[in-house]
A = this chain, B = another copy of it.
Amino acid sequence: MARLSPDDRRQAITDATLAVARRKGLGATTVRDVATEMGTSSGLIHHYFDSMDDVLATAFDEAASRDLARARTAIGDKPSAAAQLDVFIDSYAPVQSDWTMQLWLDAWAEAARRPALQQVSRRLNREWQSLVREIIERGVESGAFATDDADAAAWRLLSVLDGLALQVVAHDALITRDDVVEWTRSAAARELTKGAWHVS
């Protein structure tokens, strides 16, 4: 294969890893899978990464960060905190065969056994929670939302979304993506509205 610069090659490895993980899941992705996907030898991967744990952690970092950045952008456009929350919910809710969510499932399960992956997963989960917390805080400032603990509220909102999304991906057709969106919106309304609330 063509000789690439270290940066390009690392990127190529990460891309190839994600392409494989998309098909087989993170936990089932092997060195040789990645090499075959790139059309190179397997030894090349270890020239750039210390271990398979590193490869998977880097790849997961890339995919999850990309989703996070996309959500941030989509949210940034919206004027009101309520609209921002809707966009967040919409961009997080997975479709039946959502491969990013399957990546998260793998990451959570493998975290106990792969230190590098755990670190990445933990950091990104915290960032998602921060994103939600910031939306809530802005909403409270503008008077649109009411809560006495934005941090806890953000964790609850993110968690209900994680919990529901997980059902869609792991147990396909037990509940649907529409359920996830509707039920999370309903939870957000209960969480952030003072007194009586209305769900459309």
Question: Within A25-84, which residues are at the interface with B (CB < 8 Å)?
Answer: 25, 27-28
User: Once the chains are docked, how many angstroms separate the CA of A175 from the CA of B159?
Assistant: 12
Residue of chain B at shortest CB distance from A196? B195
Given A109-B109, A113-B28, CB of A160 within 8 Å of CB of B156: yes
The reply to whether A159 and B163 contact each other, CB–CB distance below 8 Å, is yes
The reply to whether A109 and B27 contact each other, CB–CB distance below 8 Å, is yes
Question: Within A112-162, which residues are at the interface with B (CB < 8 Å)?
Answer: 112-113, 118, 121-122, 125-126, 152, 155-156, 158-162
What is the total number of residues of chain A having a CB less than 8 Å from a CB of chain B? 45
The reply to whether A122 and B171 contact each other, CB–CB distance below 8 Å, is yes
Residue of chain B at shortest CB distance from A103? B109
User: Once the chains are docked, how many angstroms separate the CA of A121 from the CA of B111?
Assistant: 20
A102 adjacent to chain B (CB < 8 Å): yes
Which B residues touch A121, using CB under 8 A?
170-171
Per-residue CB contact flags for chain A residues 151-186 toward chain B (1 = under 8 Å, else 0) read: 010011011111110110111001100010011001
The reply to whether A174 and B126 contact each other, CB–CB distance below 8 Å, is yes
Which B residues touch A111, using CB under 8 A?
170-171
Min CB gap A57→B, angstroms: 14
Binding site for B on A (CB under 8 A): 24-25, 27-28, 102, 105-113, 118, 121-122, 125-126, 152, 155-156, 158-164, 166-167, 169-171, 174-175, 179, 182-183, 186-187, 190-191, 195-196
27 contacts between A and B (CB under 8 A): A27-B110, A102-B109, A105-B105, A105-B112, A108-B170, A118-B171, A121-B170, A121-B171, A122-B171, A125-B171, A125-B174, A126-B174, A155-B167, A155-B179, A155-B183, A156-B160, A156-B186, A156-B187, A158-B163, A159-B162, A159-B164, A159-B183, A160-B187, A162-B166, A187-B187, A195-B195, A195-B196
